[in-house]
């Protein structure tokens, strides 16, 4: 039986937030002892839209620092910067050779951006194929995926199966792993939308100072019912706060009638989670050379697997050794 190999990706656009921590980072850390895990910082994906080069570099370094601060152990879970392993882009092209234009054009980000009438980069059309390469490169058989990424995982499974059928067994076909429902964090100001790194006013970034965390939770949208209960349809804001509390502490609200008391409990729970991460991040940020060393060593650690996969794909599709 093949070992469990899990790939979790992070895109360095915007700052990692509470939803990333509860939905992706904590499960990644929890799985370190039971699975072969890889944390991928997908900096090439950040170039599918207008960007400033220095901001991409700074964001990638910050994300690597935060992953370490949150508890990712690079000895067990390599923290891989996508652009430092060139096999990602080579496999990307090979997979483009089995992808139809219509398949790529149906991906939601490209459909929405191109429908807007503004300039759209070709890389936005093809980046779901690069995402497929990211997954298939490391023979990952488990990929944590939310609703917004399920379409991309299905494309990955389709391309891997098609390639295997046409050219012989080459790729592991991955399965999606859904995050725990309690780890699904919504925007505090708009609890019908997921918390986002790049949009919305109700997000809590992992490096937000305590006063910002407190203010964001205090301003969280509630309702007129004055009852603390889970009711996603009629009380999405309260349901979100209860879910955050449960994800942080494993406990339900102590007071079932006071929204103010609920917000105070959530604030205390979130702050207890973020305070040590901020402190450790401050230490690591003072030593960026160490973080860069971790990235370089991680790239060397995964490169043999990546090179083997690409060599196998090259031979299968008809290229000379």
Closest CA to 8 of 39, 31, 53: 39
Report the distance separating Cα 19 and Cα 179, nearest Å: 11
Residue for token digits 């429908």? Answer: 115
Report the distance separating Cα 242 and Cα 105, nearest Å: 38
Report the distance separating Cα 168 and Cα 178, nearest Å: 29
> Which three-class secondary structure state does DSSP give residue 153?
helix
Catalytic residues: 113, 194, 197
DSSP lists the bridge partners of residue 235 as 231
Report the distance separating Cα 235 and Cα 241, nearest Å: 10
Report the distance separating Cα 169 and Cα 212, nearest Å: 52
Rounded to 5°, angle at Cα 60 from 289 and 83: 95
Per the CB < 8 A criterion, the answer to whether 201 and 207 are in contact is no
Per the CB < 8 A criterion, the answer to whether 146 and 318 are in contact is no
CA 118 → CA 44, 52, 68, 248, distances in Å?
21, 19, 38, 41
């Amino acid at each position: 039986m093949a070992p469990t190999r899990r790939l979790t990706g992070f895109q360095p656009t915007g700052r990692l937030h509470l939803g990333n921590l509860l939905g992706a980072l904590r499960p990644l850390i929890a799985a370190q002892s039971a699975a072969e895990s890889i944390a991928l910082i997908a900096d090439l994906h950040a170039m599918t839209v207008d960007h400033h080069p220095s901001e991409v570099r700074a964001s990638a370094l910050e994300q690597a620092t935060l992953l370490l601060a949150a508890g990712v152990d690079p000895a067990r879970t390599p923290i891989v910067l996508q652009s430092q392993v060139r096999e990602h882009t080579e496999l990307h092209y090979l997979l483009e050779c089995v992808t139809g234009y219509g398949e790529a054009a149906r991906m939601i980000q490209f459909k929405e951006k191109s429908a807007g009438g503004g300039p759209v980069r070709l890389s936005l059309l093809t980046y779901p194929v690069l995402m497929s390469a990211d997954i298939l490169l490391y023979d990952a058989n488990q990929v944590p995926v939310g609703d917004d990424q399920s379409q991309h995982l299905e494309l990955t499974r389709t391309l891997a199966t098609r390639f295997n059928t046409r050219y012989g067994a080459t790729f592991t076909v991955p399965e999606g792993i859904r995050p725990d429902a309690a780890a699904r964090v919504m925007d505090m100001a708009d609890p019908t939308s997921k918390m986002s790194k790049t949009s919305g006013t109700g997000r809590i970034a992992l490096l937000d100072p305590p006063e910002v965390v407190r203010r964001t939770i205090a301003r969280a949208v509630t309702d007129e019912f004055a009852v603390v209960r889970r009711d996603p349809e009629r009380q999405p804001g309260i349901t979100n706060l209860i879910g955050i509390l449960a994800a942080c502490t494993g406990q339900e609200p102590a007071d079932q009638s006071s929204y103010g008391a609920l917000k105070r409990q959530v604030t205390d729970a979130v702050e207890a989670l973020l305070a040590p991460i901020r402190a450790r991040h401050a230490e690591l940020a003072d030593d960026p050379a160490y973080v860069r060393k971790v990235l370089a060593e991680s790239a060397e650690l995964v490169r043999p697997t990546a090179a083997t996969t690409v060599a196998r794909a090259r031979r299968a599709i008809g290229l000379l050794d």
